Structure 1
Amino acid sequence: MEDIRGPFRASEAIAAGRTSRGRVAGPNTQRLFPDVHASVGQVAEPSDLAGRAREAALYVKGAPAVIGGYAAAELHGASCGPRTAPVDLIVGRRRVRPRPGLRIHQDVLAPDEVVAAGDLLVTSTLRTAWDLVRRLDGDGGVVALDALARAGTFDPVELLALAQLHPRSRGSRRVADAVVRADPRSASPPETRMRLGLLAEGVPAAVPQLEVRDARGWFVAHVDLGWEEAKVAAEYQGDHHRTDREQWMHDQARFAELASAGWLVLPCTALDLRFPHAFAVRVLAALAERAR
């Protein structure tokens, strides 16, 4: 007997002598899916999307399932959706019963649409973007496309070729609009949402991750969004910028350096992402003042 770390298939572990039926049925082991268990204390939290994907991958026996959707993006290092999202499993033509927390897709993937992420199989960054953009309404598809194109270093325009190859795919009409609005220079989903929110409110387009240099040509910082001629920047400030003392001190020093180089920095919060109009008014006022 041994303490098995991480999720495991009970039938295989029992056959290999790694555990027993009694231990599997005991209070120290939790059932996740049929034949899939984990020791109590090692079960992935609801917010651990990558961990839940590892558990879900064991549910499908035979040929391994391929992880897609938001879970694939998470495993690619391109987190772009709710961490509590269901795990998408792509199983080909097999019939697999859905389970709570899982979405089963009977898609057939091309060989170049499947890659390894450690010991798991996941859809490629391009295929993951294709699936998410077709599924998501509004800005969600653009957020996913920005994150995955940045992680996978592909041009969003490449999605248009897939749309031409699969014109009858559900949601394929959303692809062209997402490609036009995408800009993988955005370094995080909140930065993409900030950029899209300002554009929707009529603010002139800014440059994501603009490099700022001082009058001597020395590097000062990269700003989330920058209007170079006006020397105005918009910076997204997540909760960690407020709660992490070191991050807060770093931000203050950085803002001081930008100010000394003649730049005005406008902070953007999660509330501004929800209600972008007021933030857009502040940005437009700053641009107008700098123009004068």
Structure 2
Amino acid sequence: MPRPPCPLPDDLGRQFSAARAVGQGITRRRLRAKDLSSPFYGVRRYVDTESGEGDDTEYGPLSIDRQQRARVLRDAHAYAEVMPAGSFFCGRTAAVLHGAAIDHPGDLEVGVVSPGRAPRARGIRGRRIAEHLVSVRTHEGLRLASPASTWAMLCTELSVRELVALGDAMARIPRDDFGRQHPELALATLTQLHAAADAGPRPPGTGRLRAAIQKVRVGSSSPLETEYRLDAATGGLPEPELDVEIRSSNGRLLGISEVVYREFRLIVEIEGDHHRTSRSQWNRDIEKYQAYAEAGWEVVRLTSTHIRGSRPTGISIVRKALLRRGWDGAPK
């Protein structure tokens, strides 16, 4: 029976550069053992680390996004062990690392400021970027293109609709568990997104970028909400308020809702699958909707099928509710 590989020093961590290991006296032969893989040239990691992102037992888009980000984050930290000085993660890689719900192709996108030489290696897509088109920040120990410049950089491969959804995600103001807003935690401000869109000459896609920035709003908490808002505008519905605190006549907070037509006392709740699968969320929703009804609000509940289905009916449902609540049919 073959002998198991000898243990490695704990301070190397689960993934490390071969050079660092050799510097601690680890032999090249030990680095070729079957308990280690080489995700990038000059990097080693334990094989069992590669399945770590699959431990999430939930299902649905939220779980898929979390698992994808865990994989990209793990790979980015691995490549950071051998990353050339001055380089940074950009494009879809930076967007995922910032927390955006966007597909990632697998290879890490790594940028350098022009005229630097973009890295070329297995698993890496190198990019050379003009200095005026990117700013860099450190996030979770990694050098990334800033959220605003990441958003603008993706204009060459995203549609206007996708750019609006990503811009909404960048500009969203997070709330804590008590419902309090924290503007300081937003990834980017509208001012920063506008500045990135107007940064100057860039590859084709500037037209889409400038069209998208006019439609980005603060308050959408998911791509599904952005899609509803864009479709509602196309369908001629009045523009709603987003991420609104609904209060009783004496000021008591009844709930926070994503899409609100205040003039018509109409609330649109766009529900992801967690509203159905989480018992606590389900109970909170029932209590909130009861409080809304007692305060004179009507609630329209939509799911992804109403918005993305083969025959979406969400806009029609909301239009009928608005007309029932006194809307004259003219956008406001």
| TM-score normalised by length of structure 2 | 0.77
1:268 aligns with 2:302: yes
Select 2:281's aligned residue among 247, 251, 254. 247
Candidates 14, 22, 26, aligned match of 2:29: 22
- More displaced, 205-214 or 91-100? 91-100
> Is 2:133 aligned against 1:125?
no
Q: Cα–Cα, structure 1 residues 6 and 132, in superposed 2: closer, same or farther, change >3 Å?
A: farther
Contact 2:38 2:45 in 1 (8 A): yes
Spell out the pairing of 1:196-275 with structure 2 (5 A cutoff): 196-275=230-309
Alignment of 1:25-174 (within 5 A): 25-43=32-50, 45=53, 47=68, 48=70, 49-58=72-81, 60=83, 62-76=84-98, 78-82=99-103, 86-92=107-113, 93-100=116-123, 102-109=124-131, 113-150=135-172, 151-155=186-190, 157-174=191-208
CA distance in structure 2 between the partners assigned to 1:117 and 1:137 by the alignment? 27
- 1:57 and 1:67 in contact (8 A); partners too: no
Cα deviation, residue 111, structure 1: 11
Shift of the alpha carbon at 1:41?
1.9
C-alpha separation between the residues in 2 aligned to 1:85 and 1:272?
A: 31
Provide, for residues 99-129 of structure 1, a one-character-per-residue CA deviation record: whole Å limited to 9, x for no partner.
Answer: 34x4321114469811111321111122112
Q: Is the 8 A contact 2:149 2:196 kept in 1?
A: no
Evaluate the alpha carbon distance shift between residue 111 and residue 285 of structure 1 in structure 2; reply closer, same or farther with a 3 A threshold: closer
More off after superposition, 135-144 vs 66-75: 66-75
Give the aligned length: 287
Q: Is the 8 A contact 1:66 1:114 kept in 2?
A: yes
Task: Give the superposition deviation at 1:83.
Answer: 5.5
**Mapping for residues 172-187 of structure 1, pairs under 5 Å:** 172-187=206-221
Using the alignment, how far apart are the partners of 2:78 and 2:127 within structure 1? 17
Change (3 A) 1:268 1:135: same
Give the match for residue 192 of structure 1: 226
- 1:287 and 2:322 matched: yes
Identical-residue share of aligned pairs (%)? 28
1:29 Cα deviation after fit: 0.8
**1:6 shift after superposition:** 3.5
Q: Which amino acid aligns with 1:131?
A: M
- Decide whether aligned partners of structure 1 residues 168 and 96 sit closer, same or farther in structure 2, where only a CA change above 3 A counts: closer
Q: Equivalents in 2 of 1:218, 1:95: separation in Å?
A: 56
1:10 is matched with 18
Distance 1:69 1:217, change over 3 A: same
**Cα separation, partners in 2 of 1:205 and 1:98, compared to 1, 3 Å:** farther
Distance 1:272 1:98, change over 3 A: farther
For the residue of structure 2 that corresponds to 1:14, the secondary structure is helix
Gaps of 5+ in 2: 1-7, 54-66, 173-185, 328-332
CA contact (8 A) 2:160 2:208 kept: no
One-letter amino acid of the structure 2 residue matched with residue 96 of structure 1? P
Instruction: Confirm or deny: 8 A CA contact 1:125 1:149 kept in the other structure.
Output: no
Tell me the secondary structure at the aligned position of residue 105 of structure 1.
Answer: strand
- Letter aligned with residue 73 of structure 2: A
Distance 1:258 1:70 in 2: 40
Paired with 1:216 and 1:246, the residues of 2 have a C-alpha distance of 27
Q: 1:50 and 1:281, CA in 2 relative to 1: closer, same or farther beyond 3 A?
A: same
Instruction: Return 5+ residue gaps in structure 1 as ranges.
Output: none
Partner-residue secondary structure (3-state), 1:55: helix
What's the C-alpha RMSD, in Å, of the aligned pairs? 2.5
Secondary structure of residue in 1 paired with 2:263:
coil
1:181 partner SS:
coil
